[in-house]
Structure 1
Amino acid sequence: MTAPVDVKSLSDAELAAHLAEVAGRILLAVRDSGVFSAKALGKAGDQTANQFLVHALREARPDDGLLSEEEKDNAARLDKSRVWIVDPVDGTREYGEARADWAVHVGLAIDGQPVIGAVALPGLDLSGSGAGTVLRTDRTQALPPAPQKLRMVVSRTRPASEAVAVAEGLDAELVPMGSAGAKAMAVILGQADIYLHSGGQFEWDSMAPVAVAQAHGLHCSRIDGSPLVYNQRDVYLPDLLICRQEHAQMVLSLVKAIDKAA
């Protein structure tokens, strides 16, 4: 039996990382149980991981607000300075297909800013320990050297036309990938250089990944260059740019030119 964890004694970053990692293990156990059909697996995993995360956060941080993709929204969060924003399974299709490009997001926005976050990639076991990979705001790593040819991660099922146009303008290689969290972490891990999304998202899709990306020194903004703000009444957040700092202005200028020409 695992020793009890005093979650109230953990720092916010430690708590985010611990919960994301445990939720990832729960999701793997749900999938490996063999109980669910392919059609039912996504819902079962989402709901199971969500219940764990919601109850754990209410136990550990009872005074904080909470926004989860799998929970009914609550107006009470709007009056909170500290709001946890979680996505129990980002990339449900990839999770069901036992791919590596799905994630668990646990993040904390303070006064609307993405301050604390952890992104678990349970299907990507970089260490060989069998525990997957967790990237977090309190344990950063140096970015790998940038290659000569740029690489841009895009949706593996429906690449946004704007992102494809920017990739063409940069002569960048397209790297199809599943979840938003996996795409953002790919830039940190050196699997890509740019993640540009313009096809519509919600706050839980990007909050934790943005917090982690910013902690690693990456540029994070809307595609018009404006800041990303969270814990809004309308949780729809349509676009996102995460990239190495040296590419940001070039990408933003291309987006502006493409939009002007459209």
Structure 2
Amino acid sequence: MSDADLASHLAEVTGRILLEVRASGLFSAKALGKAGDQTANQFVCHALREVRGEDGLLSEEEKDNPDRLAMSRVWIVDPVDGTREYGEARADWAVHVGLAIDGQPAIGAVALPGLEGGTLLRSDQPRPVPPAPDKLRMVISRTRPAAEAVAVAERLGAELVPMGSAGAKAMAIVLGKADIYLHSGGQYEWDSMAPVAVALGHGLHCSRIDGSPLIYNQADVYLPDLLICRKEHAGQIFELIAEVTQVAD
């Protein structure tokens, strides 16, 4: 099985497992999130160690193993991105399975099991990204919207679209449900690696908000900001980020 097929298979199966855990009816919303995290993590990590045992592994739900830093190939996974949304039976949560090669987001799969019928997006099988509407739409956190994102949206005249998980936000751009994902409120490598690989595979712009590249498999896995958008919008957004940053200073 190719790396891309494996990432996609694991994301899809993990999504089905999570839906079964939720359908059991045995957990409160808070307990469901914990049960989902642990169950999904065990499946993904056991599977990767079984079929890609020579590769490194970084998961949100496991203690970090620094041995990965010496490896060229490192799987970076978030078994449930948007634990709160999953526990609340919302649609805006995701499963991330990605492979970084020499720090680059090489392969990614993002499952959105909460959407009707489920949706799986792959870095190696791009679909056409719908054109942007006249009034742009920016996805923001539904609980902690970043001040920079709100300020940039105001200057653009963009509509704000509150949403849960990072994966759901990033895939909203790919699916044409939104146009800009600007985040500056703090994230980790597992929050963005697989979604960024998928977005890049679909021809979108992906970077830090200062324009520098997103580099993975670092000793410090804190990766607090990113911008995902259509390439034709990136220049204007960077200009507006600089404006709002100067105002804040």
The verdict on a shared fold, with TM-score over 0.5 as the criterion, is yes
Displacement of 1:103 in angstroms is: 0.0
Aligned to 1:184: 170
In structure 2, distance between residues paired with 1:146 and 1:93:
30
Q: Does 1:24 align with 2:10?
A: no
Cα RMSD after superposing both structures? 0.6
What 5-or-longer segments of structure 1 have no aligned partner? Answer: 1-9
Displacement of 1:88 in angstroms is: 0.5
What 5-or-longer segments of structure 2 have no aligned partner? Answer: none
Aligned to 1:4: none
Helix, strand or coil at the partner of 1:62: coil
Q: How does 1:72-91 map to 2 (within 5 A)?
A: 72-91=63-82
Aligned to 2:156: 170
CA-to-aligned-CA distance 1:101-155 (integer Å, 9 cap, x gap): 1000000000000010000000113xxxx3x110001111011121010000000
CA-to-aligned-CA distance 1:169-209 (integer Å, 9 cap, x gap): 10000000000000000001010000000000000000000
Aligned to 1:37: 28
Helix, strand or coil at the partner of 2:134: coil
Displacement of 1:60 in angstroms is: 1.1
Aligned to 1:92: 83
Aligned to 1:236: 222
Helix, strand or coil at the partner of 2:220: coil
In structure 2, distance between residues paired with 1:39 and 1:121:
20
In structure 2, distance between residues paired with 1:217 and 1:240:
16
Displacement of 1:258 in angstroms is: 1.3
Q: Does 1:108 align with 2:99?
A: yes
Q: 1:142 aligns with which of 128, 146, 150?
A: 128
In structure 1, distance between residues paired with 2:76 and 2:236:
31
What one-letter code is carried by the residue in structure 2 that aligns with 1:105? H
Helix, strand or coil at the partner of 2:37: helix
CA-to-aligned-CA distance 1:222-241 (integer Å, 9 cap, x gap): 00000000000000001000
In structure 2, distance between residues paired with 1:64 and 1:119:
20
Q: Does 1:227 align with 2:219?
A: no
Helix, strand or coil at the partner of 1:89: strand
Aligned to 1:3: none
What one-letter code is carried by the residue in structure 2 that aligns with 1:38? A
What one-letter code is carried by the residue in structure 2 that aligns with 1:231? N
Which range is displaced more, 43-52 or 249-258?
249-258
Aligned to 1:211: 197
TM-score (normalised: structure 2): 0.98
Helix, strand or coil at the partner of 2:209: coil
TM-score (normalised: structure 1): 0.94
Displacement of 1:41 in angstroms is: 0.6
Aligned to 2:241: 255
Displacement of 1:261 in angstroms is: 2.2
